[in-house]
Amino acid sequence: MAVTSQQIAELAGVSRGTVDRALHNRGRVNPDVAARILKIAEELGYRPNANGQALVRSRQGMRLGVILQSAETPTMQDVAAGVRQAAGPLENAGVTVDLREVQGRDTGRVLREMDALTQAGAAGLAIASNNTPDLIDRIDWLHDRDVPVVTLNTDAPDSRRICFVGMDNYRAGQTAAGLVKEMLPAGGVVFPIAGHVNNGAHNSRLRGFLDTLDAEGGSIRLLPFQPCFDREDYAHEITQHILRENPSLSCIYITSNGQQGACRAIEEERRRGRVRVVAYDLNEPNRRLLQNGALSFVLDQMAFEQGSRSLQILYQYLVSGRRPERELLYTGILIRTRYNIADELRTEGC
């Protein structure tokens, strides 16, 4: 049987109310008594019963806001699903989760949703948006008003967000480079395609890739990278051109959307099997491309967990003041091939 605050109260010769105030530094308790209570709690290894806490909190109510940019993309839909799953158990603790899905990379809209949510009384926000000075300002402004912000999927490193939940994109780029090194024979030729030139995530994925091939590759030849602006048609055009110019091309590394266009170009030029493609994010289109062999590898970022985890962290911080262990909470870099994309155990809340 676990130790309860009642037991501590009896041992300390005080009431549960006093124990509660002492354990949570709520003040209004004699320092000597508080010290005694804390000591007893420590010795007994007291852990508050989360169910009891949740139950009483359900009386108070709390609102959390989540804003997802580019919500129309498959990856953000996965994030949203994770948010909804985490929201379930939180409801039992009186938490209302307000999920705002912003279409496209509309930072202005994100800022307005931030304002709307705080107006509506949100106690904390989880935000996936591209990193702009405006966003940083607004996050810092909220921080000063004791509204904590967690960034997810895309970080705002220079802001005062309490933490970031998402992929280590540089490391992912390195992982991709490692795969390419294993795959390609000496002298293999690789063409990297980036998304937007100013997208931090895509840039990191590119730098990690280039740095690692430069440092150790030696025998692999890199073509200069080109941006496709997340567009399938541009990726198609670029790829078509590169394929025609480079008969010996053996691999394409693409850090963003555009993989479908690139694969189509390879198909049309009848180079399937001779040109391998490494892409990002295990979504429906990519599942199909893996299945039919157009993609060799997909690096996945656990979007679902990004959504569920960031919400849990936000709640945890608000009720206990406990910051996460690290400021950067990296989700795994999952390497997917056609053989390991079956549905799997997914974290279920409890």
Which residue, 114 or 184, has its beta carbon nearer to its own copies?
Answer: 184
Q: Which helix (H) or strand (E) holds 97?
A: strand 95-101
Q: Site map for its own copies, 14-43, x if CB under 8 A?
A: ------------------------------
Exposure of 112 in the CB half-sphere (CA atoms within 13 A): 6
User: What DSSP line would sit under 264-328, residue for residue?
Assistant: HHHHHTT-BTTBEEEEE---HHHHHHHHTTS-SEEEE--HHHHHHHHHHHHHHHHHH-PPPS-SE
285 touches, from DNA, its own copies, none (C-beta below 5 to 8 Å by class) = none
Q: Site map for its own copies, 221-240, x if CB under 8 A?
A: --------------------
> Is 196 in contact with 229 (CB distance < 8 Å)?
yes
Q: Site map for DNA, 17-56, x if CB under 7 A?
A: xx-xx-xx-xxxxxx-xx-----------x-xx-xxx-xx
> Is 63 in contact with 122 (CB distance < 8 Å)?
yes
- If we measure between CA atoms, which residue out of 152, 154, 100 comes closest to residue 126? 152
> Is 313 in contact with 272 (CB distance < 8 Å)?
no
Q: Of these, 44, 58, 178, 232, which contacts DNA (CB under 7 A)?
A: 58
Which residue, 191 or 304, has its beta carbon nearer to its own copies?
Answer: 304
- Is 339 a binding residue for its own copies by CB under 8 A? The answer is yes
Alpha carbon of residue 288 to chain centroid: 24
Q: Which residues bind its own copies (CB under 8 A)?
A: 2, 49-52, 54-55, 58, 89, 91-93, 165, 168, 171-172, 174-175, 177-179, 182-183, 185, 212, 276, 296-297, 302, 305, 309, 312, 329-340, 342, 344-345, 347-350
Q: Which residues bind DNA (CB under 7 A)?
A: 1-2, 4-6, 13-18, 20-21, 23-24, 26-31, 33-34, 46, 48-49, 51-53, 55-60
